[in-house]
Amino acid sequence: MSPQAISIRDAMDLLDDRRVKCVRPLIPPQILHEELPLSLRGAQTVLDGRRQVEAVIKGDDDRLLVIVGPCSVHDPDQAIAYAKKLVEYAKESEEDLMIVMRVYFEKPRTTVGWKGLINDPDMNGTFQINRGLKIARRLLLELTELGIPAAGEFLDVISPQYLADLNSWGAIGARTTESQVHRELASALSMSVGFKNGTRFHFALVPVLIPAQDGSIDIAVDAIKAAGSGHTFLSVTKQGLSAIVETEGNNSTHVILRGSSKGPNYAQEHVIAAGEKLKKAGLPARLMIDCSHGNSSKQHQKQIEVGRDIVSRSARLWTELPDDPRRDDRVQHQRGQAGRPARRSLGLKYGVSITDACISLEQTIPVLEELREGVRQRRAAVKAKRADGEAA
Ligand X SMILES: O=C[C@H](O)[C@H](O)COP(=O)(O)O
Binding region for ligand X (CB under 6 A): 71, 107-110, 113, 293, 355-356
Could you tell which of ligand PEP, ligand X, none binds residue 211, using a CB distance below 5 to 8 A set by kind?
none
- Residue 97's nearest CA partner among 108, 85, 89 is 89
In this structure, are residues 278 and 285 in contact, taking their beta carbons and an 8 Å threshold? yes
Judged by CB under 6 A, does residue 108 bind ligand PEP?
yes
**Cα–Cα distance between 194 and 104 in angstroms, integer?**
14
Member of 53, 151, 174, 289 binding ligand PEP (CB under 6 A)? 174
Could you tell which of ligand X, ligand PEP, none binds residue 109, using a CB distance below 5 to 8 A set by kind?
ligand X
CB of 29 or CB of 149, closer to ligand PEP: 149
Could you tell which of ligand X, ligand PEP, none binds residue 258, using a CB distance below 5 to 8 A set by kind?
ligand PEP
CB of 298 or CB of 349, closer to ligand X: 298
Give residues 24-83 in contact with ligand PEP (rule: CB under 6 A). Answer: 71
Judged by CB under 6 A, does residue 258 bind ligand PEP?
yes
In this structure, are residues 297 and 334 in contact, taking their beta carbons and an 8 Å threshold? no
In this structure, are residues 318 and 378 in contact, taking their beta carbons and an 8 Å threshold? yes
Shortest Cβ distance from residue 252 to ligand PEP (Å)? 19
CB of 182 or CB of 293, closer to ligand X: 293
Could you tell which of ligand X, ligand PEP, none binds residue 379, using a CB distance below 5 to 8 A set by kind?
none
Shortest Cβ distance from residue 66 to ligand X (Å)? 17
Shortest Cβ distance from residue 353 to ligand X (Å)? 9
CB of 44 or CB of 180, closer to ligand PEP: 180
- Residue 291's nearest CA partner among 255, 258, 330 is 258
Shortest Cβ distance from residue 164 to ligand X (Å)? 20
Judged by CB under 6 A, does residue 173 bind ligand PEP?
yes
Judged by CB under 6 A, does residue 104 bind ligand PEP?
yes
Could you tell which of ligand PEP, ligand X, none binds residue 366, using a CB distance below 5 to 8 A set by kind?
none
Strand partners, 153: 171
**Overall size of the chain counted in residues:** 392
**Cα–Cα distance between 143 and 138 in angstroms, integer?**
9
Could you tell which of ligand PEP, ligand X, none binds residue 385, using a CB distance below 5 to 8 A set by kind?
none
Question: What does DSSP assign to residue 68?
Answer: E
Residue 389's CB is within 10 A of a number of other CB atoms, namely: 9
Rg (CA), the chain: 22
Question: Do β-strands 203-205 and 209-211 pair in parallel, antiparallel, or remain unpaired?
Answer: antiparallel
CB of 151 or CB of 321, closer to ligand PEP: 151
Count of residues in contact with ligand PEP, rule CB under 6 A:
10
**Cα–Cα distance between 343 and 245 in angstroms, integer?**
39
Residue 31's CB is within 10 A of a number of other CB atoms, namely: 14
CB of 137 or CB of 293, closer to ligand PEP: 293
In this structure, are residues 354 and 114 in contact, taking their beta carbons and an 8 Å threshold? yes
CB of 114 or CB of 318, closer to ligand X: 114
**Residue closest to ligand PEP when measured from CB atoms:** 173
Interface mask (CB under 6 A) for ligand PEP, residues 265-304, using x and -?
A: ----------------------------x-----------
Residues 188, 193, 198, 204: what is their CA dihedral angle, to the nearest 10 degrees? 80
**Cα–Cα distance between 127 and 121 in angstroms, integer?**
7
- Residue 119's nearest CA partner among 360, 354, 359, 300 is 354
In this structure, are residues 257 and 219 in contact, taking their beta carbons and an 8 Å threshold? no
> By the criterion CB under 6 A, which residues form the site for ligand PEP?
71, 104, 108, 153, 173-175, 196, 258, 293
